[in-house]
Amino acid sequence: MIIVSSSESLRETLGDWRYSDEHIALVPTMGNLHNGHLSLVPLAREHAERVVVSIFVNPKQFTKGEDFEQYPRTLERDKRLLKKVKADLLFVPDVDTMYPFGLDNATSVTVPVMTSDFCGAYRPGHFDGVTSVVSRLFSIVQPDVAIFGQKDFQQQLVIRRMVEDLQLPLQIVLAPTIREGDGLALSSRNQYLSEKQRSVASTLYSLLAGIGKDLQAGKRNFEELEKHAMDALSSAGFDPEYIGIRRAENLETPDRDTDEIVVLAAARLGNARLIDNILVSI
């Protein structure tokens, strides 16, 4: 596996691959890789001859008081894991490479409307940070395809919208959420959970799965279902932020004709902020 940290060396290698007519898939991450991240690499390989993984803990997407400083950084371990899953290239830029004019003078990319609700409401500026860094990665790497996890469903929708709106020439692929045996979605932030909190953490997924079953059984009292799950999260010891039953296509409120639903949730448990979602066809 080739490891580079400058855009220039990256471009050299990518240029060679393109010259040989090889397609390039990009898997953007913040590192501290787990099996969820690693599952994106073989999926990327199904779409391109070459797989580039980036690791960059993007300061712009952490809001004030969030865990930017504590975010786990485990580069040596990440390199070993990426070699095992046969990534071709690891791009590990520093802040100056990603933001050559400095964080305060950086051009910002904003996707309006669909960033105002859910995680956008609880993490103001977060999605601007995500779209600003992902658009930079897209222009540096110029991938044919980029892979994003369903776990961050709203993020994936926002990126799709950015790509469509800016008419960027690449395809976005959605990867399924990898879970622990009890249903908890793998996340770097799960390690902030105490043993006791870890034992209740999977309640988040169980409640989503319960709503999924209710929807498939024909229930359409969305607000009641959301409220019931919010109450259940509080009773289980979470500090819930939101549960939303929405149109998977654009996060708008579903109507009678909607057939693809996403049920999204975010809740705090101790020092961890957990998010999850499920897709339901009704």
Which residues are known to be catalytic? 37
Shorter beta-carbon distance to ligand AMP: residue 34 or 220: 34
- Residues in CB range of 205: below 8 A, 6 or more apart: 179, 182, 183, 184, 185, 276, 278
Please list every residue from 205 through 264 that binds ligand AMP, using CB under 6 A: none
Stretch that binds ligand AMP, among 30-38, 88-96, 111-119, 214-222 (CB under 6 A): 30-38
- Quick one: how far is CA 227 from the chain centroid? 25
Which of 14, 25, 26, 30 touches ligand AMP (CB under 6 A)?
30
- Beta carbon of residue 222, minimum distance to ligand AMP (angstroms, whole number): 25
- Beta carbon of residue 45, minimum distance to ligand AMP (angstroms, whole number): 15
Alpha carbon distance 87, 204 (integer Å): 32
Shorter beta-carbon distance to ligand AMP: residue 144 or 152: 152
Count of CB atoms situated within 10 Å of the CB of 106 = 17
Please list every residue from 125 through 164 that binds ligand AMP, using CB under 6 A: 148-149, 151-152
Shorter beta-carbon distance to ligand AMP: residue 115 or 187: 187
- Residues in CB range of 131: below 8 A, 6 or more apart: 109, 110, 111, 158, 159, 162
Alpha carbon distance 25, 100 (integer Å): 24
- Contact between 193 and ligand AMP per CB under 6 A: no
Alpha carbon distance 209, 205 (integer Å): 6
- Beta carbon of residue 257, minimum distance to ligand AMP (angstroms, whole number): 29
Alpha carbon distance 31, 124 (integer Å): 23
- Contact between 29 and ligand AMP per CB under 6 A: yes
- Contact between 54 and ligand AMP per CB under 6 A: no
Binding residues (CB under 6 A) for ligand AMP: these are 29-30, 36-37, 39-40, 148-149, 151-152, 175, 177-178, 185-188
